[in-house]
Amino acid sequence: MTLKKWNWQQADWPDFSYDKINIDPLEAEFIKASGISIGVMRHLSKKDLDEFRIEMICNEALKTSEIEGAFLDRDSLQSSICKEFGLGEKYLHGAVKPEEAGIAMMMKDLYTDFDSPLTHEILWAWHDKLLNGRTDLERGKYRTSKEDMRVVSGRIDKPRIHFIAPPASEIPREMDLFIRWFNKTAPGGKAPLSPLTRAGTAHLYFVTLHPFEDGNGRIGRALSEKVLSQSLGKPTLIALSSILSDKKKDYYKNLELQNKTNQITPWLYYFSKTIIEAQKQTIGMVDFLIAKTKFFNVYETLLNPRQKKAVLRIFREGPKGFSGGFSAKNYMSIVKIPSATATRDLKDLVEKKILTKTGQLKSTRYLLNLSPFYPACSPYF
């Protein structure tokens, strides 16, 4: 007799249960934050909104890939995304790689066709695009191998098994059930669920099935964003993968804690809190973009061409800035100048209060002085 260890082997699979009273306050917080997010975006010009959209989609594509250990080229990816959205091919410094081109196509589908019902064909198309260029597996189809699909870590000769997914023979039937559930619980479906509950359940349900040979986590996170977009009736721009990537160990830990039971309150609470944190980060990024516009309105004429180039490069790093802080060495590298010129330029920027200075000697770091341009309520103020 086989020991029924995993959640999909339990008698109540896939009838997930949860304590609604613990999730409802988070559902209300999500709706409130969504209204704020939509409101702050109305302050962006069309140009800034296009820039923000490309930056957010690019960052999510980068981060959802990084979670799985795949590191993409940002410039190549941004160029691909700009091309997909009809905004030219910015940032391109060479040929676009298949991986960047593929995920850009998938993100375009996710963004523009969010409201369409889920189908096997959509998932197969996402998988095909996501793994563009891969020749070591079959793209655009569910797994068929008779070997166990295992999530493992540790040494090859002594692996630690975190999870074993349903066998490939069961995937067609299980995916029929999953797609039926996904569409039934959508807004306007026969059994609609609240946004956070549906997003968290969809993600857990999908990655439990692990229907593809590779790419399941990335597609699972895309499905959560499809859910959130459907709930709002418009494409969602949210830093979900960015938050999950920053706290990857917590993400995997919470998934593993949930793989032996179908009572999913702890998972829904964790995932809902993560989505709300992602919303706040998104709002902060909009504030950052508005601050950037105000900053250049005040300071652009005070910057020489070298300083402007460096400042634009700092802004490209986003609200968190350069990893380890921005140094004179960074400045010299960006504008290709000797140390003496860099020292004069940086001193001038500090005197004009464009930059603030911390530390001394080799530990000296510089920050953009954006505090005058942020709203007091911003998370980055």
- What is the chain's mean pLDDT, rounded? 92
Q: What's the token pair of residue 65?
A: 């890939």
What was the pLDDT predicted at 1? 38
Average pLDDT over residues 200-219: 98
Q: Give the model's confidence band at 92: pLDDT under 50 very low, under 70 low, under 90 confident, else very high.
A: low
- Per DSSP, what are the bridge partners of residue 169? none
Q: Residue 285 gets which letter from DSSP?
A: H
Instruction: Give all domains of the chain, ordered by start, each with its CATH number.
Output: 7-286 (1.10.3290.10), 303-373 (1.10.10.10)
Query: For 21-30, what is each residue's pLDDT tens digit?
Result: 999 999 999 9
pLDDT digit string, tens, across residues 7-53: 999 999 999 999 999 999 999 999 999 998 888 888 888 888 888 89
Residue 2 has pLDDT above 70, yes or no: no
Distance separating alpha carbons of residues 359 and 280, to the nearest angstrom: 30
Instruction: List pLDDT tens digits, range 146-162.
Output: 999 998 887 777 888 99
- Whole-angstrom Cα distance, residue 202 to residue 196? 10
- Write down the H helix ranges in the chain: 20-41, 46-67, 74-84, 98-112, 120-130, 171-184, 195-209, 216-232, 240-246, 248-257, 265-299, 305-316, 328-335, 339-351
pLDDT of residue 91: 52
pLDDT value of position 180: 98
How many Cβ atoms from other residues are within 10 Å of residue 186's Cβ? 20
pTM: 0.88
